[in-house]
Amino acid sequence: MTAHDWLEKAKKENFAIPALNAGNLETIKGIVAAAVEAKSPVIIETSTGETKWMEAENVLCICRNFSDKYKIPIIVNLDHAYTYEDTRPGFEAGYDLIHFDGSKLPYEENIEVCKRIVPEAHGKGQMVEGEIDKILGSGSEVHTGETVDPAVIESGKSHPETAAKFVAETGVDIFASFFGNVHGIYPGYTPQLDIDLLKAVGQAIPNTFLSMHGSSGTPDDQVRAAVAADVVKVNVNTEIRLAYRESLEKALVEHKEIAMYKVFPGVVEEVKKEALRWINLCGSGGKI
């Protein structure tokens, strides 16, 4: 099955596929272990920074190797490419999905770049995710000491009419919808998702898949509600990175070992646990 086939299956069967960021082998191993145990498809994605660090060809090769070995579907995604040039590594390596985030660009420029990317990607059997709205937060981090302005969240929410216009003009396969979700984690703040708005966006673009970014820190019941409202791709970065870093810091204190492969098993296990949690929230377990 292709990436499109899996997203179509998710939409029809009312589940989502967790899209989990990975910037090193250990994180990939943890995600794969979770997918194998849960019999779940997964999306392994790399940000532009992670892609530069790992190199796109290596990421794709590792994911394809694990997919073949364990007979699990792994969709490989380039996450948040902000320019046409940023999309090139994933495009040229053969990633399944290219996420072009043109939300920082003027609307017309965003359209122009999308119109360039979409036919190229479709020509190679790749899917494209587009983004136009400005989500609160920058990247994957814990925003300690920062406050959340409700007005900023409100102003960044998607508009069904604009979403329909954008999709019609660009032909993107997936639309990054914003309905109260935020990037990263704001200690003391609990996201409040506008599920009615999400449903309205979905009704405006019925033939386009919906993604949810900024899922970290969102209450479980709200994640499930978003999936029930036809989100088929749930992006998780911060909580995966936290699982990795916190477990690594603990392992380095507990072990005096300098052969790192002896230190990493516990780290991989913690990443696996976090990935399993998201597989459960997305309802993708047992779908293979």
Q: Average per-residue pLDDT in the chain?
A: 94
In this predicted structure, what is the pLDDT of residue 7? 98
Percent of the chain with pLDDT over 70: 98
Closest-CA residue to 40 (of 215, 219, 277): 277
pLDDT band at 186 (very low <50, low <70, confident <90, very high): confident
Count how many Cα atoms sit within 13 Å of the Cα of residue 151 in the half-sphere of its side chain.
0
The mean per-residue pLDDT over the stretch 232-251 comes to 95
In this predicted structure, what is the pLDDT of residue 112? 97
Measured CA to CA, the distance from residue 68 to residue 112 in angstroms comes to 37
Measured CA to CA, the distance from residue 225 to residue 233 in angstroms comes to 13
Contacts of 80 (CB under 8 A, 6+ apart): 47, 48, 99, 101
Least confident of 13-22, 192-201, 211-220: 211-220
Number of H helices, E strands in the chain: 12, 8
Cβ atoms of 213 and 183 within 8 Å: the answer is yes
Buried b (16+ CB within 10 A) or exposed e, 185-210: bbeebebebbbebbbbbbebbeebbb
Q: Flag whether pLDDT at 138 surpasses 80.
A: no
The mean per-residue pLDDT over the stretch 57-72 comes to 98
Contacts of 278 (CB under 8 A, 6+ apart): 18, 20, 215, 234, 236, 239
- Among 5, 68, 79, 149, the active-site one is 79
Q: Flag whether pLDDT at 68 surpasses 80.
A: yes
In this predicted structure, what is the pLDDT of residue 229? 97
Percent of the chain with pLDDT over 90: 83
Q: Flag whether pLDDT at 108 surpasses 90.
A: yes
pLDDT band at 224 (very low <50, low <70, confident <90, very high): very high
46: three-class secondary structure by DSSP: strand
Measured CA to CA, the distance from residue 208 to residue 173 in angstroms comes to 5
Closest-CA residue to 63 (of 51, 80, 48): 51
The mean per-residue pLDDT over the stretch 206-232 comes to 94
Q: Which helix (H) or strand (E) holds 134?
A: none
In this predicted structure, what is the pLDDT of residue 125? 97
Q: Flag whether pLDDT at 151 surpasses 90.
A: no
The mean per-residue pLDDT over the stretch 11-35 comes to 98
Whether 79 is a known active-site residue: answer yes
pTM: 0.94
In this predicted structure, what is the pLDDT of residue 140? 66
Q: Flag whether pLDDT at 278 surpasses 80.
A: yes
Beta bridge partners of 127: 97
